[in-house]
Amino acid sequence: MSEHLVAAGSGRPHRPLAIISGGASGIGLCVAEILGNRGCTVAILGRDPARLARARSNLEAQRIVVVAHTLDVRDSAACAALADALVAHHGPPLWVVASAGIVEPGFFLEQDVAATGAQMETNFLGTANLVRAAAPFMVAAGQGHIAMVSSAAGLFGVAGYAGYCASKFAVRGFAEALRIELAAAGVSVTVSVPSDTDTPQLAQERPRRPAAIAPFAGSGQPLAPQVVAAHLVRTAERGGFISAPTAQLAAIARLQGLVSGVFARVQMRLLRRNKR
């Protein structure tokens, strides 16, 4: 992990800050455990106060320094206010992990229009709101890791998940553009594309999957959230962009990433030239 930052005006080293949305359960909570055990102060964010309280107790039992805040990432003003407050108390974040997300399975033409909007607002706009609030502090500090949780459904379409796929493709596209924009500032961007992961969200989703697509959408054993979280942190630390936690997903991501990787390098060169 990068060296500890120095608290503004104090001259004393302090624990690096990790801000994690969706930090009360699943992949987000596992990332909090990893970074907390490596010396970060972890700020876990979520909409459910009871779940946040349980997660905080879990982390504190591991002697992890943790703060928990109720936050709806769809509220951009609330994201900005919380980021300002966290930075004022803890210094600029070394990590920002956008893990909050929802899924509403159902065939597009049979599904209420609100389901598509809800997934886009939480999964994509919620991710963008958190990053917009926190990234300027990372740029000013000249370092940091931004990690976003997309999905295998952000690599290829899955019938019965049109709205979810759209939101997770949006996260991946957002991450691709952002890594180009922030590369020169010393801030890395990584996006995770896991398949089914054993989380509370999966438990709620499975009974609502369209039966016709279940043999495809539910094929294979779910990944452990600890595995996904550990792969995401390792990938981010080495400056990698796509965190694909299985060999099959890695192969799919590599094939799809060939063209976008070329485009990214061309754009990075153009931006560097423009700053000369």
* Residues with catalytic roles: 164
Residue type, 203: A
Query: Would you say 195 and 224 are in contact if contact means Cβ atoms under 8 Å apart?
Result: no
* Neighbour order of strands in the sheet with 187-192: 66-70, 41-46, 17-21, 93-98, 144-149, 187-192, 242-243
Q: Which position has the token pair 């459904």? A: 153
Among 101, 231, 221, smallest CA distance to 161 is for 101
At a CB cut-off of 8 Å and minimum separation 6, what does 21 contact?
28, 45, 46, 71, 73, 97, 98, 99, 100, 126, 127, 130
Q: How many helices (H) and strands (E) does the chain have?
A: 10, 7
C-alpha–C-alpha distance, residues 157 and 180, integer Å: 25
The span from the CA of 53 to the CA of 226, in Å, is 20
Which two three-digit tokens encode residue 158?
A: 């899955």
